[in-house]
A and B are shown apart, each in its own frame.
Chain A
Amino acid sequence: DIVMTQSPLSLPVTPGEPASISCRSSRSLLHSNGNNYMDWYLHKPGQSPQLLIYLASNRASGVPDRFSGSGSGTDFTLNISRVEAGDVGVYYCMQSLGPPQTFGQGTRVEIK
C-alpha cells in the first residue's frame, strides 16, 4: 500500500498569515497520463470532509483561490495564502492512484 506522510501534524496559524502543509507518498503518484493522483480534503469540526484540491493542483468548485496545491511524484504541498478563522480543522492528503486509496494522518490547523 502507498503510505502518505503529512507534516506538520499540528499547525497553529495566525489569521492573515500564510500556511503550508506537506505530504509525501511512499511511491510516485505520477501516472503515465501526466496526472498526479493526489487530493486534499478539509474536515471541519462537526462537518463532513470537503474536497479542496484534486489531481494535485486543481481547485474544487467553490474553493477560494487562497488555497493552492503543488507538487509532483512523491512530494506535494497545500498552501493557504492568507489563513482565515474558518479554515480551522484537519487537513488530509489522499492518494487515488490505485487501490487501496490511502489518507495521510491529518494536519490539525488551529488559530493561535
Chain B
Amino acid sequence: DSGVTQTPKHLITATGQRVTLRCSPRSGDLSVYWYQQSLDQGLQFLIQYYNGEERAKGNILERFSAQQFPDLHSELNLSSLELGDSALYFCASSPGISISTGELFFGEGSRLTVL
C-alpha cells in the first residue's frame, strides 16, 4: 500500500460527458502528479501540483484540468470526453517540490472507459 488513495477505481461514461477523478496523497506529501496510462501511449505525465500551486505541465489536453485543495487532495477533471480518453489515470505523490530521488508513490489508478 503506497498510501495514495484514488477514487473511483472504475468509471464508465459516454462520449461528451464530464468526470472528476480524486486523489488523496500520502500523509505529509505536498506534491501531487497526474499520469495517464494507455496501451498505445504508455505512461504520460499530465500535470503536477505542489501545495496548491501548479508546478509543471505535461501533455495535458485543454479539455482536462486539475486542482489541488488546501487539504492537499487533488482532482482531475476531464470534460467533453472522447473514446480516446479511455485509459488508466494515476495519481502519484512525493514529499517535496522536485523529484530529487525519482521516488514517486503511485495510487492504484482510476480506470476510465468512454463508450
Indicate whether A and B interact: no
Interface positions of A (Cβ within 8 A of B): none
